[in-house]
Amino acid sequence: MKSMLAAATLAATLAMPALADPDPTDWDAVTAEAEGQTVYWNAWGGSDVINDFIAWIGEQAAEQGVTLEHVKLTDTAEAVSRVLAEKSAGKDDGGGIDLIWINGENFASMKEGGLLFGPWAEALPNRALTDPENTALTADFTVPTEGMESPWGMAQLVFFHDSARLAEPPRSMSTLLAWAQANPGRFTFPQPPDFLGATFLKQALIEFSPDMMALEGPVEDADYEATTAPLWAFMDELTPNLWRQGRAYPQNGARLVQLMADNEIDIGFDFNPNAASNAIANGQLPDTVRSHVHEGGTLGNASFVAIPYNANAKAGAMVVADILLSPEAQARMADPEVWGLGTVLDVASLEPEQLLLFDRIEFGPATLKPEDLGETLPEPHPSWMVKLEEDWTARYGVAQ
Amino acid sequence: MSLLRRAPALTLLVMLGPVFAGLAGTLLPAFGILPALGRVEPGLMPFSELAAWPGLPRAVALSLGTGLGATLLALALTVLICAGWQGTRSFRWLERALSPLLSVPHAAAAFGLAFLIAPSGWIARALAPLLGWERPPDLLILQDPWGLSLTAGLVVKEMPFLLLMTLAALPALRPGQSLATARSLGYGRSAGWLKTVFPRLYPQIRLPVYAVLAFSMSVVDVAMILGPNTPPTLAVQVLRWMNDPDLALRLRGAAGALLQLALTLAALGIWRLGEIAVARMGRAWIETGARGSHDAPVRALAIGAGALSALAILLGLVALGVWSVAAFWGFPAMLPDAFTAKSWMKQGPQLLAPAGDTALIALIATGVALALVLACLEAEHRFGLRPSARALWLLYLPLIVPQIAFLPGLQILALVSGIDGTLAAVIAAHVIFVLPYVFLSLADPYRGWDRRNALVGHALGASAARVFWRLRLPMLLRPVLTAAAVGCAVSVGQFLPTLLLGGGRVQTLTTEAVALASGGARRVIGVTALAQTAAAFLPFALALLVPALVWRNRKGLRHG
């Protein structure tokens, strides 16, 4: 009897947090619960442009009674580590992280590990402003999002060059190789597993891959050797012609911008189509820098936010995620003066006064018009990225 | 009274308890146990995976090579500078120039140095017009595969530390008298110093040297900025695994952390063997009676290298300052196209809150450490306790066990106990690292205080407590403040403990600086690194200023 009672109490205690979780379909209850909550948003803190935007989101959240604290990370994985450490320690509620700016690889890993709260994202009021048919929002690196994360920005791989030094940039991986062979030491990419560096590998894989379909499924189901053989042939030729002969790599995209500014390289790239315009506005790059894309299209994906399973302020986190989707926030984010990340909203279906917010945006000289951005290529399954990173590291990352 | 008697034991518990608890927390995942991932079967998988990582031999060699190389160079420079110049005016100048450099945080010094020596840095920019460079040369200077720039960065930062440790130990050895005797027998200045002073000095600075060796091998922030990355040093790679999106890699990371610990112990063993060999050779050299009277080149080299180190850090700081106010600044311009306060206006207000927390944490952690150290030293004095050599070793343990080996385990512990993410947890973690430094700075002046003052006090009827509060503490104001300043500087510089135990919720200038540095924007790095340096430097300035003000009418006390 005693043990049964204990078991019942235990079951009740275990069920408690689940019962107390806010229901996103009852939005009024969510906003009521969110009032007075403090949301710790763990987001990469390496860009002051983005940090400023997040601070502005914090001001909007304050109007709804939610205090937003930006926890600046050097790497999103720090937040994943932390949720994992909390789970290890049995801290299944009242966790330290309420919202994470997450990428496809970490999302797949956290979703698989049962570290996420949800589904909640598709019930957000402002989610209705997006295009339900947009596959970039329903799948993250081909992994179905299933309402476990909410989109807030569209990114696309865009290259940039200094038109004063390089009049006509190469517009495909094969012409890039020919150009690098003629101009050794003037191109590089961030070292995988950096996100942007891995993106460069994937872009090259897609441009050379004979079988696009294979990339949509897990790497185990594909003929990996045959699919990646052209990529490694390309990398073998490219690597000795890289900056520092491929014996050192910049750590991330921001260092790539710095290398451009220092005249160490002639071509850079970023996942934010506005990176070059931003850098010009901040005095980091000369105003002769221009953007370009590759002819067959470039990789694109959405940025998401997710809520850990043990978050302390789930309701507040949902309110912040909803603010991120508001036309005001989306238009501000898309403004190159502020940040310049693409909107996830279906602009064509917006109300006229909402549309006006977007029409007002002036694009910088180094920002391509939406029609010049070309086709957006879908991301391969995340297992490809993992395998490519491993292989690249074994081939080039540790061999001196 | 009984509380005071227990002070040494309490101090060791506060300092070492977390280290051992954290190590235990690393041990489990290294042997395959991580319940949160559903791994409960113990096994050696993480180690076999670690062994299979293709970069392992190089990463291990790099850690050993840069650690041993940097320590050897820093020690050799320190010794040669002291041998050739101690007691001269140039020596005092160098001493004054180097002491403040101790407070420059490692990351800030590394950023500054990186901008000086990079192919697009200041040195290359100065040479560009002479050599006709319009583009920076494609040279692998930073992040070179041999870790040379990493070693250089560690040498310039560790040499001031060893020099100050040496200066603290020297007076008790009365080097002036030994040197005078040696010189009257015809020995050259450097040779005489090396033969008569150094053999007695080395045992005094052995533990600081070991701490430098252990630190150099496991440092993360400097290695990320200056070190190679194909592959990086073992410590950096361990951190990468700990931070990988693939959660299973944490097991490999834990195994790597244990390897790092073993590697540190191995390096200490190698160093110990080296000590024995050098002692043998040194004895033989002393016995030859060679006078070594022509030491001008050695002396010039030593002072030159010392000045160069000081200059490198100072110029690096200037470079950071210029970047923080730079508008567009391209290669090969020596100065930016224009100056702007934009970066400061933007970052400054955001740094205020972290600056407040930094100060609060540093003050409390230093206060706790100072109280414990004073209690230990006073207990030593009152009860005639003699600290054994082993006790000194224990004191150095937190400085020798690599942070990466025990902090992740400690984080889990804090989570279980529910104190993670609080200021208290961060402060407790800082105390672990602040305590040894405070003890080392304060022990000698405290023990060196003239006991006759106490006798006079007692004779006049003062209790032991009254003697402590009214005589000893005021008379030792300057060394106590200096120790506090060292403690604050150590606290300000802590990155991993703040990050892991603060859970991102406790933000200090250092965590802000490193987070922003990940974006690589030099202007922002300039602002935050300077703010961080200022935070570490301010206590030193106060430690100089306060005694001068308080004792403005007590000439003999102003200089402690």
3-state secondary structure B111-126: HHHHHHHCCCCHHHHH
Distance from CA of B478 to the nearest CA of A (A): 38
The ipTM, to two decimals, is 0.75
**Does the domain at residues A158-292+375-397 carry the CATH identifier 3.40.190.10?**
yes
Chain B residues within an 8 Å CB radius of A76: 245
The reply to whether B55 touches chain A by the CB within 8 Å rule is yes
- Chain B: residue whose CA lies nearest to A52: B346
- Do the domains B46-323 and B1-30+341-560 match in fold? yes
Query: Which of B505, B517, B520 lies at the smallest CB-CB distance from A71?
Result: B505
**Local confidence band at A7 (pLDDT 50, 70, 90 cut-offs):** very low
Whole-angstrom distance, CA of residue A358 vs CA of residue A354: 7
Distance from CA of A86 to the nearest CA of B (A): 6
Query: Which of A80, A243, A286 lies at the smallest CB-CB distance from B138?
Result: A243
Give the best residue of B116, B247, B410, B413 to mutate against chain A (max A CB count within 10 A). B247
Give the best residue of A40, A72, A84, A252 to mutate against chain B (max B CB count within 10 A). A72
Residue spans of the domains in chain B: they are 1-30+341-560, 46-323
Chain A residues within an 8 Å CB radius of B224: 251
Instruction: Return mean pLDDT, chain A.
Output: 88
Chain B residues within an 8 Å CB radius of A42: 504
**Does the domain at residues B1-30+341-560 carry the CATH identifier 3.40.50.970?**
no
pLDDT of the residue at B1: 52
Contact B520 A251 (CB under 8 A): yes
Contact B519 A248 (CB under 8 A): no
- Chain A: residue whose CA lies nearest to B52: A394
Q: Which residues of chain B have pLDDT under 70?
A: 1-2, 245, 517-520, 557-560
- A15-154+301-366, CATH topology level: D-Maltodextrin-Binding Protein; domain 2 (3.40.190)
pLDDT of the residue at A13: 41
pLDDT of A285 above 80: yes
Query: How many CB atoms neighbour CB B178 within 10 A?
Result: 16
Distance from CA of A351 to the nearest CA of B (A): 35
- Chain A: residue whose CA lies nearest to B325: A283
Residues 6+ apart with CB under 8 A from B406: B18, B19, B20, B21, B22, B23, B25, B26
Query: What percent of chain A has pLDDT above 90?
Result: 50
Distance from CA of B448 to the nearest CA of A (A): 46
The reply to whether B349 touches chain A by the CB within 8 Å rule is no
Whole-angstrom distance, CA of residue A390 vs CA of residue A130: 36
CATH number for B46-323 (one of 1.20.58.710, 1.10.3720.10, 2.30.110.10, 1.10.150.120): it is 1.10.3720.10
- Do the domains A158-292+375-397 and A15-154+301-366 match in fold? yes
Contact A264 B35 (CB under 8 A): no
Chain A contacts in chain B segment 159-198 (CB below 8 A): none
The reply to whether B220 touches chain A by the CB within 8 Å rule is no
**Interface contacts (A, B; CB < 8 Å):** 198
Chain A residues within an 8 Å CB radius of B36: 84-85, 87-88
Chain A contacts in chain B segment 253-292 (CB below 8 A): none
Contact B519 A249 (CB under 8 A): no
- Chain A: residue whose CA lies nearest to B518: A46
**Local confidence band at A6 (pLDDT 50, 70, 90 cut-offs):** very low
pLDDT of the residue at A18: 44
Chain A residues within an 8 Å CB radius of B143: 248
Contact B230 A264 (CB under 8 A): no
Q: What is the mean pLDDT of residues A352-359?
A: 89
Contact A109 B246 (CB under 8 A): yes
Query: Which of A44, A245, A248 lies at the smallest CB-CB distance from B229?
Result: A248
Query: Which of A78, A243, A393 lies at the smallest CB-CB distance from B243?
Result: A78
The reply to whether B247 touches chain A by the CB within 8 Å rule is yes
Query: Which of B411, B499, B522 lies at the smallest CB-CB distance from A85?
Result: B411
- Taking only the tens place, the pLDDT of each residue in A60-115 is 999 999 999 999 887 788 888 888 888 887 889 888 899 999 988 889 889 988 99
Contact A89 B416 (CB under 8 A): yes
Give the best residue of A41, A42, A44, A48 to mutate against chain B (max B CB count within 10 A). A48
Query: Which of B224, B329, B504 lies at the smallest CB-CB distance from A71?
Result: B504
The reply to whether B233 touches chain A by the CB within 8 Å rule is no
Residue spans of the domains in chain A: they are 15-154+301-366, 158-292+375-397
pTM score: 0.82
pLDDT of the residue at B154: 95
- Chain A: residue whose CA lies nearest to B507: A71
Report the length, in residues, of chain A. Answer: 400
The full 3-state SS of chain A, as one line of letters, equals CHHHHHHHHHHHHHHHHHHHCCCCCCHHHHHHHHCCCEEEEEEECCCHHHHHHHHHHHHHHHHCCCEEEEEEECCCHHHHHHHHHHHHCCCCCCECCCEEEECHHHHHHHHHCCCECCCCHHHCHHHHHCCCCCHHHHEECCEECCCCEEEEEEEECEEEEECCCCCCCCCCHHHHHHHHHHCCCCECCCCCCCHHHHHHHHHHHHHHCCCCHHHHCCHHHCCHHHHHHHHHHHHHHHHHHCHHHHCCCCCCHHHHHHHHHCCCCCEEEECCCCHHHHHHHCCCCCCCEEEECCCCCEEEEEEEEECECCECCHHHHHHHHHHHCCHHHHHHHHCCCCCCCECCCCHHHCCHHHHHHHHCCCCCCCCCCHHHCCCEECCCCHHHHHHHHHHHHHHHHCCC
Chain A residues within an 8 Å CB radius of B319: none
Query: Which of B240, B420, B520 lies at the smallest CB-CB distance from A255?
Result: B520
Distance from CA of B184 to the nearest CA of A (A): 55
pLDDT of the residue at A4: 42
pLDDT of the residue at B518: 65
Chain B residues within an 8 Å CB radius of A397: 55, 230-231
- Chain B: residue whose CA lies nearest to A50: B519
- Taking only the tens place, the pLDDT of each residue in A226-266 is 899 999 999 999 999 999 999 889 888 888 988 998 899 99
Angle, helices A327-334/A352-359, rounded to nearest 10 degrees: 20
Contact in structure between A148 and A306 (CB atoms under 8 Å): yes
pLDDT of the residue at A295: 92
Chain B residues within an 8 Å CB radius of A102: none
